[in-house]
């Protein structure tokens, strides 16, 4: 630190003390310039970096607990979810931001608060491996692996299987693979047919019968903020997902029988 008397940049700390609040540190320093050697005091304050939230339009704003609670209340206004449960979810979200121990289990704890209201809870995860992805895998009992009917689709499948194996072995989880789901399928394309054939050959009995087609309605539904069953319920994509739901239910009935 620069000496206020002679301008020398070299100094040594001879004493340090924290304030009662713990947010300011007072340091006594001595100039190392042989012709000066004077002492001076510096005060250092710890500035906390606010947690920022990235919104849908890409803008950022400071994380506020009350805004989170307000959003959850609006999302659950037609659901039998208690305010106390929503407040606990907000607490868990804050702990996740603070990177508390067992942060990979926060989503599991959040879902546990509301899971009894539903028959099924579906968790949609990004393809990249991150803390959010690990949270989703830890919160799930089974995993549906979507496989695009494209050149690198099968390569991505092997990477996902490695991630599942890592979660089960390193984090003590027991995540099961429910099955692989072919997506963006176009029966007119040779590549789609080849990916489907190869996947069903190498994973016999672990690929769903239904194939989710490449469809305009599926691509545009997210821009309207609606699931396909509300955006265009009679489209081929919506009918395909309806068949998938029936297949999942049948799969569970067979397992329980």
Whether 247 is covered by a domain: the verdict is no
pLDDT tens, position by position, 20-44: 666 677 888 888 888 898 998 888 7
DSSP H helices in 151-235: 153-170, 190-202, 216-220, 228-231
Pairing of strands 24-31, 39-45: antiparallel
Average pLDDT, integer, range 104-110: 84
- Assess whether 98 and 85 both reside in one domain: yes
User: Which H or E run includes 142?
Assistant: strand 142-148
pLDDT of residue 193: 92
Whether 241 is covered by a domain: the verdict is no
User: Which of 89-98, 144-153, 213-222 comes out lowest in average pLDDT?
Assistant: 89-98
pLDDT of residue 56: 61
Is 99 a residue whose pLDDT tops 70?
no
Q: Where residue 140 falls among pLDDT bands split at 50, 70, 90? A: very high
What span, in angstroms and rounded, lies between the C-alpha atoms of 142 and 180?
A: 11
pLDDT tens, position by position, 201-210: 888 889 999 9
Is 245 a residue whose pLDDT tops 90?
yes
Whether 167 is covered by a domain: the verdict is no
What span, in angstroms and rounded, lies between the C-alpha atoms of 227 and 232?
A: 9
Whether 228 is covered by a domain: the verdict is no
- Overall domain count for the chain: 2
pLDDT of residue 246: 94
Average pLDDT, integer, range 136-146: 92
Whether 77 is covered by a domain: the verdict is yes
pLDDT tens, position by position, 46-84: 555 566 666 666 677 777 788 888 888 888 887 788 888
Q: Coil, strand, or helix at residue 157?
A: helix
- Distance from the first to the final alpha carbon of the chain: 74
What span, in angstroms and rounded, lies between the C-alpha atoms of 4 and 41?
A: 10
Q: Where residue 171 falls among pLDDT bands split at 50, 70, 90? A: confident
What span, in angstroms and rounded, lies between the C-alpha atoms of 203 and 157?
A: 11
Beta bridge mates, 220: none
Cβ atoms of residues 210 and 238 within 8 Å: no
Domain that holds residue 106: 49-117
pLDDT of residue 58: 63
CA 38 to chain centre: 54
- Domain end, chosen from 117, 142, 159, is at 117
- Assess whether 83 and 69 both reside in one domain: yes
pTM: predicted TM-score of the whole model, two decimal places: 0.60
Whether 39 is covered by a domain: the verdict is yes
pLDDT of residue 175: 92
Q: Dihedral through CA 170, CA 171, CA 172, CA 176, nearest 10?
A: -90
pLDDT of residue 157: 81
- Provide the total of helices (H) and of strands (E) in the chain, helices listed first: 9, 8
- Assess whether 32 and 77 both reside in one domain: no
Tally of CB atoms within 10 A around 167: 21
pLDDT tens, position by position, 108-138: 888 888 888 888 899 988 777 777 788 899 9
pLDDT tens, position by position, 194-234: 999 989 988 888 999 999 999 999 988 888 888 899 999 99
pLDDT of residue 21: 65
Cβ atoms of residues 227 and 221 within 8 Å: yes
| Residue scoring higher pLDDT (7 or 58) | 7
- Assess whether 21 and 58 both reside in one domain: no
Average pLDDT, integer, range 85-114: 77
Sheet bearing 207-213, strands edge to edge: 142-148, 176-185, 207-213
| Residue scoring higher pLDDT (187 or 53) | 187
Whether 59 is covered by a domain: the verdict is yes
- Assess whether 106 and 72 both reside in one domain: yes
Whether 17 is covered by a domain: the verdict is yes
């Amino acid at each position: 630190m620069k000496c206020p008397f002679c301008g020398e940049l070299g100094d040594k700390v001879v004493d340090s003390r924290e304030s009662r609040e713990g947010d300011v540190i007072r340091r006594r320093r001595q100039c190392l310039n042989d012709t000066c050697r004077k002492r001076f005091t510096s005060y250092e304050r710890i500035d906390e970096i606010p947690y920022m939230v990235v919104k849908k339009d890409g803008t950022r704003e400071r994380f506020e607990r009350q805004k989170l609670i307000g959003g959850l209340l609006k999302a659950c206004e037609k659901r039998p979810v208690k305010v106390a449960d929503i407040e606990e979810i907000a607490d868990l979200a804050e702990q996740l931001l603070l990177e508390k121990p067992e942060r990979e289990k926060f989503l599991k704890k959040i879902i546990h608060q509301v899971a009894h209201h539903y028959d099924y809870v579906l968790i949609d995860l990004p393809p990249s491996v991150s803390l959010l992805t690990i949270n989703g895998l830890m919160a799930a009992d089974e995993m549906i692996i979507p496989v695009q009917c494209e050149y690198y689709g099968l390569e991505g499948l092997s990477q996902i299987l490695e991630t599942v194996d890592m979660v089960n072995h390193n984090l003590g989880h027991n995540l099961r693979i429910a099955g692989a789901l072919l997506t963006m399928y176009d029966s007119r394309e040779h590549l789609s047919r080849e990916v489907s054939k190869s996947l069903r050959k190498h994973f016999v009995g672990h690929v769903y019968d239904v194939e989710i087609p490449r469809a305009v309605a599926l691509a545009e539904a997210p821009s309207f903020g609606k699931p396909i069953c509300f955006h265009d319920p009679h489209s081929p994509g919506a009918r395909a997902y309806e068949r998938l739901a029936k297949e999942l239910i049948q799969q569970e009935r067979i397992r329980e029988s």
